[in-house]
Amino acid sequence: MVASSALGRTLLSASRCHPTRGVSILPRVYSSAARQLADMDASRLTITKSTTPKPLVAPQDLVFGKTFTDHMLSVEWTATDGWLDPKITPYQNLSLDPATCVFHYAFECFEGMKAYKDSKGQIRLFRPEKNMARLSASSQRLSMPAIPEKPMIQLISKFLNVDERFIPSEKGYSLYLRPTVIGTQRSIGVGPPGSALLFVIASPVGPYYPSGFKAVSLEARSDIVRAWPGGVGDKKLGANYASCIAPQLEAAKKGFQQNLWLFGPEGYVTEVGTMNVFFAWLSRTGKKEFITAPLDGTILEGITRDSVLELARENLGPEGWDVIERKYTIAEVKEAADEGRLLEAFGSGTAAVVSPIKRIQWDGGMERRALGEKGAVEINVPLSPGSETGPIAQRMWNWILERQYGEIESKWSVIVPRENL
Amino acid sequence: MVASSALGRTLLSASRCHPTRGVSILPRVYSSAARQLADMDASRLTITKSTTPKPLVAPQDLVFGKTFTDHMLSVEWTATDGWLDPKITPYQNLSLDPATCVFHYAFECFEGMKAYKDSKGQIRLFRPEKNMARLSASSQRLSMPAIPEKPMIQLISKFLNVDERFIPSEKGYSLYLRPTVIGTQRSIGVGPPGSALLFVIASPVGPYYPSGFKAVSLEARSDIVRAWPGGVGDKKLGANYASCIAPQLEAAKKGFQQNLWLFGPEGYVTEVGTMNVFFAWLSRTGKKEFITAPLDGTILEGITRDSVLELARENLGPEGWDVIERKYTIAEVKEAADEGRLLEAFGSGTAAVVSPIKRIQWDGGMERRALGEKGAVEINVPLSPGSETGPIAQRMWNWILERQYGEIESKWSVIVPRENL
């Protein structure tokens, strides 16, 4: 657990091997293309077991992201050598020079995914190839390496075998996995990282709503913008998160749990908090519509979003629902609510799966915003009678969990082979 | 230099004192307001000297951000206690839990400033209060603490006394200072950091253009956007930097040194690379205009930009120049060039002071961009005959350096008191 560990020393030596660039960014980039770089190779994994295993936390005491397993998976990359040998080591601090580029220029991206234990005790992942593809796209957008899907899923499977005892057995519980890529070049010159560290840590988690759904209230502001066309809002970068906290705290002081993110003078609905968002309403002509914003570069390409859409087409389609990806505005939501056509709304994400919405306070756009509270517009979202969710959110949650826990066999659920490691 | 040092241990213990929040972000925020938090107190500084002083690098071998001094300054902050006692320690690695929020959600902001040695051997800072005010604004935008100006400048002054031998004496050389604030909470829950670390490291640097100015060529693209209204482009956050590298590498492959950042369908000119940008032209009516974009929330509030504007008003104003902060478009620049009215252009920033521009290739907007090279528009910017700079950039560089090195006394230049530490 101390920082002068093997991992710390290796990181230090790796960054020493890659002298900092100066103003020019060209020489290293072109020279690195001149030699064969090593691929990531799961067969070269080394495992160093912890000698101080942690006690397990009782399932009901688990808090999201608070406790971690005994080990971590890490793979270093350098621009001159490619991927170094993967390692599973005791969970430990990272030892990094204060000039390391991750601290200065936000060279960092991550994923959120979960491992589940089914009723037979098998370990399952849910669409892990989607997480790896997105991590690869995020990493490359930051001029860091592509992340190869196959060896990464093999390595995560081995990591799950090593820390298998931390995966809770109860339905709704899981082991949250956090693959992360950080730039490790020891340099405050602004340029592409000459070295990076991919690591995976894991935290056992309980259900997001331990005593049943709790619908949330949202604040929708027109003066704070999460993402922009030509920006990076569709990638899972650290850079998209830190600046969202201040608006969330301001919303919390007024009693709202999250922000509903709008875009442009039209007030397009984009996301909620750190989730994608769905609305169910009747169109003006009485058609049942289930709608979310399209992947236009400003929306996180949610894997739960994709699952929700496919399950909606499969299960809601036959019931007469149109499943729609298009731009839509908060004014449309308001109008549907006023006319009694708004049926339901919820967020979707890995942590909560679905998160029902009961109320939105919209500042009404920049002109009404200037009026303060007088300009604000209230939108009440229906819930099932006596419930904290709507019927689609409830059913969607069931459909997804049945597949995550292997109660219904699905192409999305991947069984992790058991190994003695 | 190993990570299990005093600093590493303190960080680790500090983060242990602040258990990770779960989903709710409210309890800690409100409880922290209930008690008196400690102010930053420069008189409580402790100094631990390095026992392995580094050799000095010869001035001509210095590369920006590559070598650092013997020591670092650090001050920890926690939401429950406020600022802990400041420390000057040997330059050393940071030891951080892999769940620390700086690695996941880009809780990080920084400053770039320089210390100069004048002809009498006095150490000088240039407008340090502006750097501290901006760092404070950046930190608070990320829900991290305000940075108090006075004790910070006192602490930096003491740090400069301790590492005085690293400040080069030659004009054009300086000690680049990098104050940085990172979130240190050990948590992957998305919320405000319960602890942070402010650290300052220092790197001796030579002139940006060691053998005289070298004018740069720029690529101006309409499909990549650095900042937008309602975003955080006016703050010096790590989050604003990593995503700018990929477009820079693409530009470099085509022979351009930097990107000229445009905004919106109008093609407003905003910044260049990591600098503010200025144009000098004759208006259609023959008026001499010196222009830069206004601080509308999408532009970094450059301290060199502010100095350039004030010096231009003082020195160029009497020569008949209008010094103008307003939105202007790349089409205006192109038209001025076509009509022989474009006189000069340069970037401004702490590292280069001024950086002359000789050529811009603009994709011509999204419609012309779709045509590829056929749609591109070339803008040639005049330079002084036989020179790699224009007359204003050359004079501005002189005006600023005379003040930074104390050749001309100025309210901007702050002499650091000498102390035996």
pLDDT for B34 equals 53
The type of residue at B175 is L
pLDDT for A367 equals 86
Q: ipTM of the assembly? A: 0.92
Which comes out higher in pLDDT, residue B368 or B407?
Answer: B407
B35 pLDDT tier (thresholds 50, 70, 90): low
B245 touching chain A per CB within 8 A? yes
- Residue ranges of alpha helices (H) inside A236-317 are 245-253, 303-315
pLDDT for A104 equals 98
pLDDT for A205 equals 96
Residue A363: closest CA among A275, A249, A247, A283: A247
Q: How far apart are CA B343 and CA B333, in angstroms?
A: 10
The answer to whether A252 contacts B25, with C-beta atoms less than 8 Å apart, is yes
B374 pLDDT tier (thresholds 50, 70, 90): confident
Tell me which H or E stretch contains A92: none
The answer to whether B29 contacts A249, with C-beta atoms less than 8 Å apart, is yes
Å from B98 to nearest chain A CA?
6
A146 touching chain B per CB within 8 A? no
Chain A partners within 8 Å of B206 (Cβ): none
The segment(s) of chain A belonging to CATH 3.30.470.10 are 42-205
The answer to whether A274 contacts B228, with C-beta atoms less than 8 Å apart, is no
Averaged over B113-123, what is the pLDDT?
Answer: 97
Assess contact for B247 and B218: CB atoms under 8 A.
no
When mean pLDDT is compared across A24-33, A200-209, A226-235, A244-253, the lowest value belongs to A24-33
B99 → chain A, closest CA residue: A201
The pLDDT mean for chain B works out to: 92
Mutation target among B18, B24, B32, B93 for the A interface, most CBs of A within 10 A: B93
B99 touching chain A per CB within 8 A? yes
- Count the neighbouring beta carbons within 10 Å of the beta carbon of residue A210: 12
- Residues 68-87 (A) with a CB less than 8 A from some CB of B: 68, 72
- Count the neighbouring beta carbons within 10 Å of the beta carbon of residue B265: 10
Find the distance separating the first CA and the last CA of chain B, reported in whole Å.
21
The answer to whether A230 contacts B223, with C-beta atoms less than 8 Å apart, is yes
Chain A partners within 8 Å of B177 (Cβ): none
Residue A319: closest CA among A383, A410, A391: A391
A6 touching chain B per CB within 8 A? no
A190 pLDDT tier (thresholds 50, 70, 90): very high
Assess contact for A64 and A176: CB atoms under 8 A.
yes
B321 touching chain A per CB within 8 A? no
Q: What is the largest CA-CA distance in chain A?
A: 67
Å from B200 to nearest chain A CA?
9
Residue B28 clears pLDDT 70, i.e. is over it: no
B8 → chain A, closest CA residue: A3
Residue B32 clears pLDDT 90, i.e. is over it: no
Å from B272 to nearest chain A CA?
14
Assess contact for B322 and B282: CB atoms under 8 A.
no
A199 → chain B, closest CA residue: B98
When mean pLDDT is compared across A6-20, A102-116, A150-164, B369-383, the lowest value belongs to A6-20
Cα torsion angle, A152, A154, A158, A161, sign: positive
Å from A166 to nearest chain B CA?
17
Chain B partners within 8 Å of A99 (Cβ): 65, 68, 178, 201, 203
The segment(s) of chain B belonging to CATH 3.20.10.10 are 216-405
pLDDT for A34 equals 53
Burial of A326 (0-12, 13-18, 19+ CB in 10 A): exposed
Query: DSSP characters for A111-176?
Result: --EEEEE-TTS-EEEESHHHHHHHHHHHHHHTT-----HHHHHHHHHHHHHHTGGGS--STT-EEE
Instruction: For domain B216-405, give the fold.
Output: D-amino Acid Aminotransferase; Chain A, domain 2 (3.20.10)
Residue A2 clears pLDDT 70, i.e. is over it: no
Read off the pLDDT of residues A195-225 as tens digits, 9 standing for 90 and up: 999 999 999 999 988 889 999 999 999 999 9
Between the alpha carbon of residue B20 and those of residues A242, A336, B190, B383, the distances in Å are: 16, 40, 10, 57
Q: How far apart are CA A124 and CA A412, in angstroms?
A: 10
Read off the pLDDT of residues A331-340 as tens digits, 9 standing for 90 and up: 999 999 999 9
Å from B108 to nearest chain A CA?
6
Mutation target among A88, A92, A181, A190 for the B interface, most CBs of B within 10 A: A190
Residue A416 clears pLDDT 80, i.e. is over it: yes
Å from B166 to nearest chain A CA?
17
Å from B229 to nearest chain A CA?
7
Å from B304 to nearest chain A CA?
18
Contacts of A90 (CB under 8 A, 6+ apart): A1, A5, A48, A49, A50, A51, A52, A70, A71, A72
Chain B partners within 8 Å of A198 (Cβ): none
Å from B321 to nearest chain A CA?
33
Helix (H, G, I), strand (E, B) or coil at B169: coil
pLDDT for B286 equals 98
B94: left (phi over 0), alpha (psi -120 to 50) or beta: beta
Question: Which of B65, B98, B104 is closest, CB to CB, to A238?
Answer: B104
Pairs across A and B, CB distance < 8 A: 252
Tokens describing residue A243: 């600046």
- Residue ranges of alpha helices (H) inside B205-315 are 245-253, 303-315
Chain A partners within 8 Å of B15 (Cβ): none
Read off the pLDDT of residues B313-347 as tens digits, 9 standing for 90 and up: 999 999 999 999 999 999 999 999 999 999 999 99
Cα torsion angle, A276, A279, A284, A285, sign: positive
Burial of B260 (0-12, 13-18, 19+ CB in 10 A): buried
Residue A369 clears pLDDT 80, i.e. is over it: yes
Dihedral, CA of residue A152, residue A156, residue A162 and residue A163, to nearest 10: 150
Averaged over A125-151, what is the pLDDT?
Answer: 98
Read off the pLDDT of residues A379-405 as tens digits, 9 standing for 90 and up: 999 999 999 999 999 999 999 999 999
Read off the pLDDT of residues A293-326 as tens digits, 9 standing for 90 and up: 999 999 999 999 999 999 999 999 999 999 999 9
Chain B partners within 8 Å of A255 (Cβ): none
Å from B280 to nearest chain A CA?
26
Compute the residue count for chain A.
Answer: 421
Cα torsion angle, B293, B295, B296, B301, sign: positive
Averaged over B206-234, what is the pLDDT?
Answer: 94
Read off the pLDDT of residues A339-360 as tens digits, 9 standing for 90 and up: 999 999 999 999 999 999 999 9
Question: Which of B64, B103, B244 is closest, CB to CB, to A22?
Answer: B64
Residue B47: closest CA among B134, B163, B152: B163
- Count the neighbouring beta carbons within 10 Å of the beta carbon of residue B325: 14
A387 touching chain B per CB within 8 A? no
pLDDT for A373 equals 80
Instruction: State phi, psi for B23 to the nearest 5 degrees.
Output: -70, -40
Bridge-partner residues for B414, per DSSP? B125
A32 pLDDT tier (thresholds 50, 70, 90): very low
A104 touching chain B per CB within 8 A? yes
Question: Which of A25, A208, A248 is closest, CB to CB, to B248?
Answer: A25
- Count the neighbouring beta carbons within 10 Å of the beta carbon of residue A87: 21
Q: Percent of chain B scored above 90 by pLDDT?
A: 86
Question: Which of B93, B98, B208 is closest, CB to CB, to A72?
Answer: B98
Q: How far apart are CA A263 and CA B230, in angstroms?
A: 10
Find the distance separating the first CA and the last CA of chain A, reported in whole Å.
21
The answer to whether B143 contacts A245, with C-beta atoms less than 8 Å apart, is yes
R_g of chain A computed on alpha carbons = 23
B6 → chain A, closest CA residue: A3
Residue A23 clears pLDDT 60, i.e. is over it: no
Chain centroid, CA A21 distance in Å:
32
Chain B partners within 8 Å of A182 (Cβ): 103
Residue A113: closest CA among A397, A353, A417, A278: A353
Query: Among 1.10.287.3510, 3.50.50.60, 1.10.1840.10, 3.30.470.10, what is the CATH number of A42-205?
Result: 3.30.470.10
Residue A30 clears pLDDT 90, i.e. is over it: no
When mean pLDDT is compared across A203-212, A234-243, B104-113, the lowest value belongs to A203-212
Question: Which of A189, A224, A229 is closest, CB to CB, to B230?
Answer: A224
A17 pLDDT tier (thresholds 50, 70, 90): very low
Question: Which of A188, A199, A231 is closest, CB to CB, to B98?
Answer: A199
Read off the pLDDT of residues B259-309 as tens digits, 9 standing for 90 and up: 999 999 999 999 999 999 999 999 999 999 999 999 999 999 999 999 999
Residue pointed to by tokens 């910070």? B152
Residue A40 clears pLDDT 50, i.e. is over it: yes
Averaged over B346-371, what is the pLDDT?
Answer: 94
Residue A239 clears pLDDT 80, i.e. is over it: yes
Assess contact for A215 and A391: CB atoms under 8 A.
no
| Angle of CA points A298, A302, A305, to nearest 5° | 110
pLDDT for B375 equals 87
Residue A226: closest CA among A166, A171, A282, A274: A274
Chain A partners within 8 Å of B20 (Cβ): 63, 65-66
Residue B333: closest CA among B298, B296, B297, B381: B381
Assess contact for B151 and B41: CB atoms under 8 A.
yes
B268 touching chain A per CB within 8 A? no
